[in-house]
Amino acid sequence: LEFRRVLFRSRAAACPVAPSALRLTLARRMPGEAKAFPNGFKMIARGSERGARMNFHCVRPRPCLDGEDGFSCQFWGGNHFPTSSCTELEVSMIFPSCWDGVRLTSPSMTEHVAYDTEPGEGSHDGPCPATHPVKIPQIRFYLRVHTYEGGPHVFSDGTDVLHADYFSGWNR
């Protein structure tokens, strides 16, 4: 799994923000329900793709505009870096869990995979679309930054679009 440099920088100055935690998981399924990634399989999870399940979660955003008891004072979620500071920022990237069953990759590395049709960020057990009928393990990648200061931040490629790549290369 390759993630576009975990360091961030402000648009105004190169200020790396080091993550405090990284976590990678594979969503569980019953044995036999998902096909293993074939050798040479490649895909990209990109926040700008239709149906993408990639988000920024800000715990206890500041300043709080709804009063200390308001829900927005406890949690903020969106698809871009929050401008407010947070006690903790979690970035979640969830990869597609359906494959066309034919191509190991595609020109943009996204056309041969799709998200299941079950709505929701954590879903992986929903049915696959007819165009991508093969279930594959769902990769989930999480990154946390404690005491996120807010402000305009971007990834090292100069955008705030979440993006992670998966390349299968194990020998069986």
**β-sheet with 139-148: strand ranges across:** 21-26, 139-148, 86-94, 53-59, 75-78
Q: How far apart are CA 20 and CA 18, in angstroms?
A: 6
> pLDDT tens across 139-151, in order?
888 888 888 877 7
List residues bridging with 166 in a β-sheet.
43
Cis omega (within 30 of 0) for bond into 63: yes
Q: What is the mean pLDDT of residues 16-37?
A: 69
Tens-place pLDDT, residues 92-142:
888 898 999 999 999 989 999 998 887 665 566 778 999 999 999 888 888
Please indicate whether residue 137 or residue 19 has the higher confidence score (pLDDT).
137
Q: State the sign of the Cα–Cα–Cα–Cα dihedral 139, 23, 87, 67.
A: positive
Res. 13 pLDDT band, cuts 50 70 90: low
pLDDT at 113: 94
pLDDT, average across residues 71-75 = 55
